[in-house]
Chains A and B, each alone.
Chain A
Amino acid sequence: MTIFRFALLRGIRSPLTLLFTYILPIVIILIRPMWIGEGLGLGAGGFTFLFMVTMLSAYLMSLSILTDKIDGTVLRILAAPIPMWRYLAENLLSCAVPLVVQMAIVSVLGHVLYDWSLTLSIAVFLCYTVLTLASVAMAFAWHCLFKGKEGNATGFSLVLFLGTFLSGLVFPTEVFPGLLQYVGTIFPAYWASRGLRDVLATGAMSGDYWLGIAAMLLFAVAFLLYGGKRRIV
């Protein structure tokens, strides 16, 4: 697990990653106005910001793969007897683990501070954990498309913007005209928002919630398959 440990430390050393991964999720859950009132965290509330933080954090953490590719570090690493899949797996794990831990803390704090029911806390934790996995896989696939950081960052900003608005986190997708109502379905966040809305409406993890989880897992598999095929050397 040397690569995992090193990637984890590298993430902590970067101020931006430290802010988005380790500080902001806790800060967001502590801002009370984001979690009370109509919609309980959706719209301009905490869940939306958590989604954005998750996406950005997954992007920033997995940026190390692109950095390794650009500066040739990956070539030197692969000169050692380390298979490619292990390098990728440990790197992706180091991106997902801190976020999953943060989501666990957020769920516990939500339960303590805002009287979330146990079902809601578990649903939030599970939903964001799976969303984290899908986001990391998506960011990884995204990095595999580029050879430089400039176009990569610009493109991802656009994807993040579209993903946030079209996936129904800020506004329900019904408010969009025709085709735009469905474009959001190609983002994992759409299914996260759909699942969360269902849990918030019914108070239970019912069919729609589990469909959302399944969709996000399928997206994660698809992105990993795509990213795994692309050459990173």
Chain B
Amino acid sequence: MRPNVTFLLCQIAGFSLLFAFWMGSEELAGFFLLLSLVIMALLRWRIPKLNVTVALDIIACLAVSALWGPAAYALAIPLFAAMYFGVYWTAFGGLYLFFNFDPLLTAVLALAALSGIFLGFWERERRDSLKTRDASAGRYYELESLQSDLTAALEQVERMTAVAERTRIARDIHDNAGHEIVAAYMSFQTVRSMLGPESPETLELYDAALERLDNGANRIREAVHNLSAVTVLGVEALQELCRRFPGPQVALQVYGDTTKIPVYVWTMLESCLNESLTNVARHARRASRVSVDLDATPHLVRLCVENDGVAGATKRPLGSGLRNLRHRAAAIGGNLSVDARETTFRVICVIPIREEEVPHGN
């Protein structure tokens, strides 16, 4: 049986005994004392912060004991509750014994107080263990959520890396090989007009070669087209997120050379912006402006998302989304911080760019 249930049963037993005492005497003061004690017990049950009111019960018992003797025994009920709640200073009720010493009463009060102390410690220990268990469970679920986020992020980075590589190959073919072949084809066409009609076989072979070269150029063009990514990357991805945001218009400002930013950083920035805008939609419905600043320098990139719709959010703990992003940022050597003021709320993500990384995304 749990200690709080034991406490409740002990209190009910106490009230029943007091009722039995009252039936023997029929003193109305006794009945009203009993009713008051029940009401105060219900009040403390309803509002646990009022536990200290147990002192009033003790005073009531002491006062009524002048009219009705058994009220001194009723002291056991509030004394028991006071010890259970840890309101030890209310033990002043025991002073009654100095003026009206009674061995039986002393034994009853001592037993009630000791039982209350024992049950109180038991209950507090149980609550502490519950809190510890809840905290452990909370940490477990948070880690699970972080693991799930990291797995999803890893998959996204892999996908984006493949897309970025295909884009790079398509661009290389288009900018280098493609242009060279087209230039060669045009040169051959010019040479064709300079050739005379003396050797028809030569001309026929020349035209066939030109046609094959034209076909080759078309094939290359198609391959480049097929290799080009449909998914938007880099700054375009951030612009797309801002454009699709259903709340107030999002002002995106980009500073610096973003071509130096690697794909995995873009993925992180995209997740950060997405989470920040989701938070604005959920918690800052009164926001009139949302601004997004992206600063790219040769050594680091900084994303700042600011809104004016969250007032007084300074004391709120971070949600699991931002906490997971903070872990992800830390995993790649960066940092995510939150700057909550009276009128604005900022999420700032700073990620370093290592020298050896080859820029891809944009």
Contacts and interface: CB of A to CB of B under 8 A. Distances in A.
Contacts of B22: 182
- Say whether chain A's binding surface is mostly helix, strand, loop, or mixed: helix
A211 interface: yes
Nearest to B22: A182
A87 interface: no
Contacts of A214: 32
Nearest to B46: A229
B38 A222 contact: yes
A228 B45 CA distance: 11
A185 B45 CA distance: 23
B35 interface: yes
Given A179-B23, A182-B23, A222 B32 contact: no
B320 interface: no
Task: Give the size range of A's interface with the partner.
Answer: 10 to 19
Given A225-B42, A228-B46, A215 B23 contact: no
Nearest to B45: A229
A185 B28 CA distance: 11
Contacts of B46: 225, 228-229
B185 interface: no
Given A215-B32, A229-B45, A229-B46, A221 B23 contact: no
Contact of A222 (B19, B31, B39): B39
Contact of B31 (A179, A215, A221, A225): A215
Interface string A199-233: 00000000000010011001101100110110000
B126 to A, nearest CB: 21
B43 interface: yes
Nearest to B31: A185
Contacts of A225: 39, 42-43, 45-46
Interface in A164-189: 179, 182, 185
Given A179-B23, A182-B23, A215 B42 contact: no
A221 B39 contact: yes
Interface string B19-40: 1001100001001100110110
Given A179-B23, A182-B23, A215 B35 contact: yes
Interface in B170-214: none
Contacts of B39: 218, 221-222, 225
Per DSSP, chain B at the interface is helix
A229 B44 CA distance: 10
A88 to B, nearest CB: 13
B43 A218 contact: no
A215 B19 CA distance: 15
Nearest to A225: B42
A226 B42 contact: yes
Contacts of B31: 185, 215
Contacts of B19: 182
A225 B42 CA distance: 6
Nearest to B44: A225
Contacts of B23: 179, 182
Interface string A45-63: 0000000000000000000
Contact of B35 (A182, A218, A226): A218
Interface in B238-274: none
B35 A222 contact: yes
A219 B34 CA distance: 11
A181 to B, nearest CB: 8
A218 B35 CA distance: 7
A218 B42 contact: no
Contacts of A221: 39
Contacts of A219: 35
Nearest to B23: A182
A211 B43 contact: no
8 contacts: A182-B22, A215-B35, A218-B32, A218-B39, A221-B39, A225-B39, A225-B45, A229-B46
Q: Lowest 3 CB-CB distances: which A-B pairs, in order?
A: A225-B42, A182-B23, A229-B46
Interface of A: 179, 182, 185, 211, 214-215, 218-219, 221-222, 225-226, 228-229
Given A182-B22, A211-B32, 17 more contacts: A182-B19, A182-B23, A215-B32, A218-B32, A218-B35, A218-B36, A218-B39, A219-B35, A221-B39, A222-B35, A222-B38, A222-B42, A225-B42, A225-B43, A225-B45, A228-B46, A229-B45
